[in-house]
Amino acid sequence: MSVVKSGVLALAMLATAPVFAAVTIDIDPAKPGAVINKNVYGQFAEHLGTGVYEGMWVGPKSDIPNTRGWRNDVVGALKELHVPLVRWPGGCFADVYHWRDGIGPQDKRPSNVHTNAGGVVEIDEINAVGTHEFFDLIDMLGADAYVNGNVGTGSVQEMSDWVEYMTSDGGSPLARLRAQNGREKPFKVAFFGIGNELWGCGGNMKPEYYASLYSNYENFLRAPEQSRPKMIASGGSGFDTSWTDVLSKELKGRTIGISVHQYTVPTGNWDVKGKALGFEEGEWISTLANTLRMDQLVKDHVAVLDKNDPEKKIGLLVDEWGTWYDEEESAKSALFQQNSLRDALVAALNFHIFHEHAERVPMTTIAQMVNVLQAMILTDKEKMVLTPTYYAFQMYVPFQDAKSLPLAIKDNTSYTLGALTIPGVSASAARAKDGKVYLALVNTDPHKAVDVAVNVAGTKLKGAAGKVLTSATMDAHNTFQDPQAIKPAAFSTRAAGGKLSINVPGKAVMVVALEE
């Protein structure tokens, strides 16, 4: 045998030899947990920056191909995500939005300046997108609507009229007005939010005051029984559980959920948040460490809910989450930020936390869908790019309405830099609607790949196949010039000697179906 041949043989032997696995994941399919509500993969579209206008809505007369004003490219891409739910029109914007400005002939609608959009000083609101246009988008996406009403500068009468306009099935003057505006049938408002961030931009209130206000508003939101939206109370900020405590005591039977907002800021300092791109490794790990705090946040709020609502009638709805970076001076519009591989890991780590708490977290909406904060899609005039966060949402589609499966991670690696240490591997498993078991894996270490041995109790696994998202650099991202710089690659592996081992590259998100 020649030297070359024996070298080849040695390599072949290595390839078939059992792989040393640093980490082991044991999945127990016999004890499924709660269903992961598809609304955990919800989106948020606020009238802010170019999140709605330009990013999604260009108007029917635009040269950019559109359907009744909505961009075909953006709607097409969003459909691939199976978007289950869209929250609209804000955010802080909701508390200055007057719905009557957005109905009737578009050329007769007023333009106004709003000063309450997510800390952004002012935006021009042309009101071309109003109730009817929003529901047109919702219908095209096949999503549910989560409409957010105005407590801050509105009135009980105005909100009550809006709900009646959208949901009443005939006879009432507002139902007739809706029909005159082109929609005979009521719209389906799955969820209705009563105000936003009442502790801040929504009115600087105390939770007790808002609880009373909420009761008053909710009392007058009349809708036919079969089309009555599920009402959502706007809760506290981050780790502050006082709002959850007061609202879950005071609003029993009047709300299906209390929202909480939690953003991931790389430095943890809102004055100097950190950059979207070109960051050092220190901000890679601090961003991931900060985002992992979502787990404790959910636990803290859920502990309060468990105390006040043992019947589990009230959910915790994380209806704003995601990364928030320093805005570049060259940013094309308010809160526009680039989105890199790091954002995909942030998304995936949060998905795993939400899956873990599926029983109490039936809905989350990432901030935001297009061109604002941790967006799925960025646009520049006629151009569109899909972000790494988009790909994370796409890879996790099988987890929508899947049954979560308990898993144990043994001998996990850890990733340390300076004073920070985080788990090396994060994982989540579920039995999807197609009957297959899906396993999602994140390797937080940007330098080292990891071998993960996977066991499913009572099953001899044959292999695994799916997608992996990774890149050579931590801030890999897509641009209008290079829109395909980072995208998921196909991944598959076979079991050897009855054992399945998955090699997860450094800084990667992976979702595979396990072949039983």
Catalytic residues: 197, 320
> How many angstroms separate the CA atoms of 235 and 26, rounded?
37
- CB of 90 vs ligand AHR, minimal distance in Å: 5
**Interacting residue with ligand AHR among 29, 37, 46, 217 (CB under 6 A):** 46
Contact criterion met (CB below 8 Å) for 343 and 350: no
Rounded distance between C-alpha atoms, residue 513 and residue 287, angstroms = 28
Tell me the β-bridge partners of 509.
442, 469
Among 74, 92, 138, 298, the residue binding ligand AHR under the rule CB under 6 A is: 92
Rg of the chain in Å (alpha carbons): 24
* 74, amino acid identity: V
Shortest reach from residue 455's CB to ligand AHR, in Å: 41
Among 19-27, 71-79, 155-163, 367-375, the segment contacting ligand AHR (CB under 6 A): 367-375
Report in angstroms how near the CB of residue 375 gets to ligand AHR at its nearest.
Answer: 11
Binding mask 51-90 for ligand AHR (x = CB under 6 A): ---------------------------------------x
The distance of closest approach from Cβ of residue 206 to ligand AHR in the complex, given in angstroms and rounded to an integer, is 18
**Measuring CA to CA, which residue among 83, 233, 234, 231 is closest to residue 144?**
83
Phi first, then psi: what are they for 502, rounded to 5°? -115, 125
Nearest approach, Cβ of residue 94 and ligand AHR (Å): 8
Residue 356 near ligand AHR by CB under 6 A: no
Number of residues that bind ligand AHR (CB under 6 A): 12
Residue listed under structure tokens 């078939």: 16
**Residues 266/291, Cβ–Cβ less than 8 Å:** no
Provide the CB-side half-sphere exposure for 259 (13 A, CA).
27
Pick 91 or 149: Cβ nearer ligand AHR: 91
| Nearer Cβ to ligand AHR (168/323) | 323
What is d(CA 351, CA 263) in angstroms, rounded to the nearest whole number? 14
Question: Taking CB under 6 A as the rule, does residue 320 contact ligand AHR?
Answer: yes
With respect to ligand AHR, which residue has the nearer C-beta, 91 or 152? 91
How many Å apart are CA 262 and CA 264, to the nearest integer?
7
For residue 357, the 8-state DSSP code is T
Least separation in angstroms between residue 341's CB and ligand AHR is 22
Whichever of 247 and 427 has its CB closer to ligand AHR, that residue is: 247
Q: Are 435 and 510 in contact (CB under 8 A)?
A: no
The single-letter code of the amino acid at 80 is: E
Q: Which CB sits closer to ligand AHR, 46 or 445? A: 46
* Axis crossing angle, helix 341-356 with helix 281-292, rounded to the nearest 10: 20
Residue 450 has which token pair? 């990891």
Find the part of the chain contacting ligand AHR (CB under 6 A) among 293-301, 303-311, 365-373, 419-427: 365-373
Is the Cβ of residue 373 or residue 452 nearer to ligand AHR in the bound state? 373
Q: In this chain, which of 144, 197, 283, 445 binds ligand AHR, going by CB under 6 A?
A: 197
User: Could you count the other beta carbons within 10 Å of the beta carbon of residue 509?
Assistant: 29
Q: Binding to ligand AHR by residue 91, rule CB under 6 A?
A: yes
**Token pair listed for 185:** 């049938």
| Chain residues 114-133 in contact with ligand AHR, contact rule CB under 6 A | 117-118
Q: Which residues bind ligand AHR (CB under 6 A)?
A: 46, 90-92, 117-118, 196-197, 320, 367-368, 373
